[in-house]
């Protein structure tokens, strides 16, 4: 069925476009009989406003695109949910799609979004050819945690090292003498390096590193080696690993934090339910989402970088 336009509706009602607009919006300045005719005709013909055309004309839209990477994991899903919740709280309607895998699909997606989306938030990693397309498209893109520099897109970068550094410094200042790290995520290593640089000349902190993949069972499995290493504090690259080690400690009579202080990373909601509650490093989810809303509401179109620190949360495990 062909979509009827506002102009066609006005012609069929034998009136002006202005009068039709007044009737549809419930505005004054129109007699009751004419209003009734217009509304009856609009219902019969199935007229609906062309939102895309209106948005293009007004240069305003309440739709915000979200391009999500095809990632699993509770942390990523929590970030996505919190972003959707924040947008809806401020009166925006999220349009969700996966990050386009190539330039051709990127162009196809935004042909479909044309007129609806003035801003799009990207939560997944972009290929260089896709980023090159985004820089030329009308929507302004807000890139979350994208490493590739860009001139025309806003980048919101997360400094994971800050919270890690603060956690490690806390361990050193409270008398811990040997730190173990369990994991191999590069961004976590940077935080450790910053902490050790700050400790240099103040006190020494011995160090041992255990490789592990990102899973609860790995935290449990490394428990024996970890205790045999002589470490009295451990930083796990993820909370899942840390929680796995807490289970190992419980099963083997290891006192936390007396025998081993434990810090994780992610601020998983289950951290508060563990016994003892897990100390961790939290993502700046709320601060990032507040900045997204600010950029949209201030109609920001220039490319700029904004850096958000992570935060050490001191709980019972240290």
75-133: per-residue pLDDT in tens?
888 999 999 999 999 889 999 999 999 999 988 888 888 778 889 999 988 889 999 88
- Tell me, yes or no, whether 218 and 289 share the same domain: no
Output the pLDDT for position 3. Answer: 64
Residues 167, 130, single domain; the answer is no
> Which pLDDT does position 72 carry in this prediction?
66
State the greatest distance between any 2 C-alpha atoms of the chain, in Å, as a whole number.
89
Same domain, 267 and 257: yes
- Residue 293, domain CATH: 3.40.50.2300
Task: State how far the Cα of 208 lies from the Cα of 171, in Å rounded to an integer.
Answer: 15
Is the domain of 143 the same as that of 215? no
Among 28-42, 44-58, 133-147, name the most confident range.
Answer: 133-147
Tokens 């801003």: give the residue: 119
> Looking at the 3D structure of the chain, how many domains does it have?
3
**Average of per-residue pLDDT across 132-150:** 88
Residue 36 falls inside a structural domain: yes
* CATH code assigned at 41: 1.10.260.40
115 and 194 in a single domain? The answer is no
Given this model, what pLDDT does residue 135 score?
85
Q: What pLDDT is stored for residue 300 in this prediction?
A: 84
- Looking at residue 3, the DSSP 8-state letter turns out to be P
Judge whether 1 lies within some domain: no
pLDDT band at residue 180 under the 50/70/90 scheme: very high
38-47, 85-94, 173-182, 204-213: range with lowest mean pLDDT? 38-47
315 within a domain of the structure (yes/no): no
Residue with the two structure tokens 């919101």: 156
Residue 170 in any domain: the answer is yes
Q: How confident is the model at residue 202 (pLDDT cuts 50, 70, 90)?
A: low
The angle subtended at Cα 185 by Cα 252 and Cα 222, nearest 5°, is: 15
Residue 45 pLDDT grade (very low, low, confident, very high; cuts 50, 70, 90): confident
Same domain, 130 and 184: no
Residues 153, 289, single domain; the answer is yes
Same domain, 184 and 260: yes
More confident site: 49 or 103:
103
User: Shortest CA distance to 45 belongs to which of 86, 7, 89, 75?
Assistant: 7
- What's residue 49's pLDDT? 59
Kindly state the tokens that stand for 181.
Answer: 């790290």
Kindly state whether residue 314 falls inside one of the protein's structural domains.
no
**Same structural domain, 227 and 299:** no
- CA-CA distance, 278 to 246, in Å (whole number)? 9
Query: Which has the closest alpha carbon to 160: 271, 291, 306, 311?
Result: 311
Does 100 lie in the same domain as 166?
no
Percent of the chain with pLDDT over 90: 52
The residue range of the domain holding 103 is 59-159+285-309
Residue 201 is predicted with a pLDDT of 67
CA separation (Å) from 275 to 168, 181, 253, 256? 21, 21, 13, 9
Lowest mean pLDDT among 5-14, 123-132, 175-184: 5-14
State the Cα–Cα distance between residues 9 and 21, nearest whole angstrom: 10
CB 295 within 8 A of CB 257: no
Residue 237 has pLDDT above 70, yes or no: yes
Residue 31: its pLDDT value, please?
82
pLDDT of residue 58: 46
pTM for the model stands at: 0.78
Structure tokens at 260: 């081993």
Residue 299 clears pLDDT 70, i.e. is over it: yes
């Amino acid at each position: 069925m062909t979509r009827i336009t506002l102009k066609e509706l006005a012609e069929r009602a034998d009136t002006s476009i202005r009068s039709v607009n007044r009737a549809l919006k419930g505005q004054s300045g129109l007699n009751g009989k004419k209003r009734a005719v217009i509304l009856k005709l609009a219902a019969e013909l199935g007229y609906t406003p062309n939102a895309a055309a209106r948005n293009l004309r007004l240069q305003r839209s309440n739709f915000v695109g979200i391009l999500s990477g095809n990632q699993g994991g509770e942390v990523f899903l929590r970030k996505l949910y919190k972003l959707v919740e924040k947008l809806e709280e401020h009166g925006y309607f999220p349009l969700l799609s996966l990050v386009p895998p190539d330039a051709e699909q990127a162009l196809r997606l935004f042909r479909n979004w044309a007129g609806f989306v003035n801003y799009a938030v990207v939560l997944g990693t972009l290929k260089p050819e896709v980023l090159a397309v985004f820089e030329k498209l009308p929507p302004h893109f807000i890139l979350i945690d994208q490493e590739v520099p860009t001139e025309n897109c806003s980048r919101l970068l997360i400094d994971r090292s800050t919270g890690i550094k603060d956690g490690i410094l806390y361990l050193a200042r409270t008398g811990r003498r040997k730190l173990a790290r369990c994991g191999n995520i590069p961004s976590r290593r940077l935080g450790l390096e910053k902490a050790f640089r700050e400790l240099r000349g103040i006190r020494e902190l011995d160090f041992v590193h255990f490789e592990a993949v990102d899973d609860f069972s790995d935290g449990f499995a490394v428990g024996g080696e970890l205790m045999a290493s002589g470490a009295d504090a451990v930083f796990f690259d993820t909370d899942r690993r840390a929680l796995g080690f807490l289970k190992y400690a419980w099963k083997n009579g290891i006192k936390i934090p007396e025998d081993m202080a434990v810090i994780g990373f992610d601020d998983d909601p289950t951290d508060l339910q563990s016994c003892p509650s897990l100390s961790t490093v939290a993502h700046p989810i709320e601060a990032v989402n507040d900045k997204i809303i600010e950029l949209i509401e201030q109609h920001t179109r220039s490319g700029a970088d904004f850096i958000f620190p992570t935060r050490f949360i001191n709980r019972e495990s240290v």
